[in-house]
Structure 1
Amino acid sequence: MPTITAGEFRNGMTFEMDGQVMQVVEFQHVKPGKGAAFVRTKMKNVLSGGVTETSFNPTAKFESAYIERKDAQYSYNDGDLYYFMDQETFDMIPVAKAELPAGFAFVKEETICKLMFYKEKVVGVEPPTFVELEITETDPGFRGNTATNATKPATVETGAEIKVPLFIDPGDKIKIDTRTGEYLERCKG
């Protein structure tokens, strides 16, 4: 495995530290008036999702960690296992519910997601950034109530709850940002 130094950090870069796979979220090279330069780093643990901030000596060495991303179609779930079909080999890949991000609540069957592999093991699932889902349950909409930012709870076809504007009706298709779980817009047609 190639090694990298903290001085070579770039946003999105992945490396191994203390047996964990870390991804650089933000970094800043700091050269104080006195003392040695250092690299202030905000990094995310790829396996647990935890974010930490640490300062490193620019010459600190780390093993580079290659995270492979593959397209896989979400097929079905069976209890706590969710099955994805590899788009090249058509193999079924089981993923534990604990490995799924919160945004996965907005993913319906047959949706293409990105599976992240590290050393042949699934370490994460990236759902599509935006999804279009149908509202299955909400209070009836009110005309003319678009001036205020008032919202109401609604259930989408995957069973997830979301806050939507008052004018949204059951049966409407809406666009959702899976990173934040927020309503974006009503879909046409």
Structure 2
Amino acid sequence: MIDASKLRAGMTFVASDGKLLRVLEASHHKPGKGNTVMRMKLRDVRNGSTFDTTYRPDEKFEQAIIESRTATYLYQMDDTAYFMDTESFEQYEIPTVAVQEELRFILENSEVKIQFYGTEVIGVTVPTTVELTVTDTQPSIKGATVTGSGKPATLETGLVVNVPDFIEIGQKLIINTQEGTYVSRA
């Protein structure tokens, strides 16, 4: 059991109603009068919905034990994404709604970590940075500097990021998956 005051972003716990919740943001809030509360932004791991709530700091929750296994992203068909365990070659089907954010950063045959709660697949973790190719952007401007305001570029996964003016179609870029931002050229 873990106190609400000890919950931090990234942790997963089981709520009193049996829902599996992941903490997106957590902060201590002391109103002018009244008791201290923990303000939290949570995601329901099973259905993907996010919501804000508050808990008393001394409320206790069961911390979920999340296991990770290395897998390869195979493909997406209709509303399902398919992954394969790199050791056992077992295939996992995950609804695209549950991994929509992560799919913006991964290509077919990319390596990811699949998260399990017991035997239930609950999500996918992508690497901190990925290498993607620019498929569409405005032509580069002669004499453009790094300090320019930048321009939007569409990458091979469909992700659109703001890049410096000198970036051209076909270049490989390193993208930060935590913030969805351009880091550098590969």
Fold match (TM-score > 0.5): yes
Q: Distance in 1 between matches of 2:176 and 2:146?
A: 22
Within the alignment, does 1:99 sit opposite 2:105 as a pair?
Answer: no
Q: Distance in 2 between matches of 1:29 and 1:181?
A: 29
Q: Distance in 2 between matches of 1:38 and 1:68?
A: 33
Q: Name the aligned partner's letter for residue 152 of structure 2.
A: P
- Give the fraction of aligned pairs with identical amino acids, expressed as a percent: 38
Structure 2 gap ranges (5+):
none
Query: In the TM superposition, what is the alpha-carbon distance from 1:29 to its structure 2 partner?
Result: 8.9
In the other structure, the counterpart of 1:42 is 40
1:18-47 residue CA offsets vs partner (Å, 9 max, x unmatched): 2212234435497x9x97x75524252241
More deviation, 68-77/152-161: 152-161
Q: Helix, strand or coil: the match of 1:15? A: strand
Query: In the TM superposition, what is the alpha-carbon distance from 1:158 to its structure 2 partner?
Result: 2.3
The alignment's TM-score, normalised by the length of structure 2, stands at: 0.81
In the other structure, the counterpart of 1:111 is 110
Within the alignment, does 1:71 sit opposite 2:70 as a pair?
Answer: yes
Within the alignment, does 1:26 sit opposite 2:26 as a pair?
Answer: yes
Q: Name the aligned partner's letter for residue 177 of structure 2.
A: T
Q: Helix, strand or coil: the match of 1:100? A: helix
Q: 1:76 to 1:27 in 2, by over 3 A?
A: same
Q: Is the Cα contact below 8 Å between 1:84 and 1:92 reproduced in 2?
A: yes
Q: Distance in 1 between matches of 2:75 and 2:161?
A: 22
Q: Is the Cα contact below 8 Å between 1:38 and 1:57 reproduced in 2?
A: yes
Mapping of 1:75-154 within 5 angstroms? 75-146=74-145, 148-154=147-153
Q: Considering only aligned residues, what root-mean-square deviation do their CA atoms show, in Å?
A: 2.7
Q: Name the aligned partner's letter for residue 154 of structure 1.
A: A
Q: Name the aligned partner's letter for residue 82 of structure 2.
A: Y
Q: Helix, strand or coil: the match of 1:106? A: coil
In the other structure, the counterpart of 1:15 is 13
**Aligned length, in residue pairs:** 181
Q: Is the Cα contact below 8 Å between 1:174 and 1:183 reproduced in 2?
A: yes
In the other structure, the counterpart of 2:52 is 52
Q: Name the aligned partner's letter for residue 155 of structure 2.
A: V
Query: In the TM superposition, what is the alpha-carbon distance from 1:160 to its structure 2 partner?
Result: 2.9
Q: Is the Cα contact below 8 Å between 1:4 and 1:62 reproduced in 2?
A: yes
Structure 1 gap ranges (5+):
none
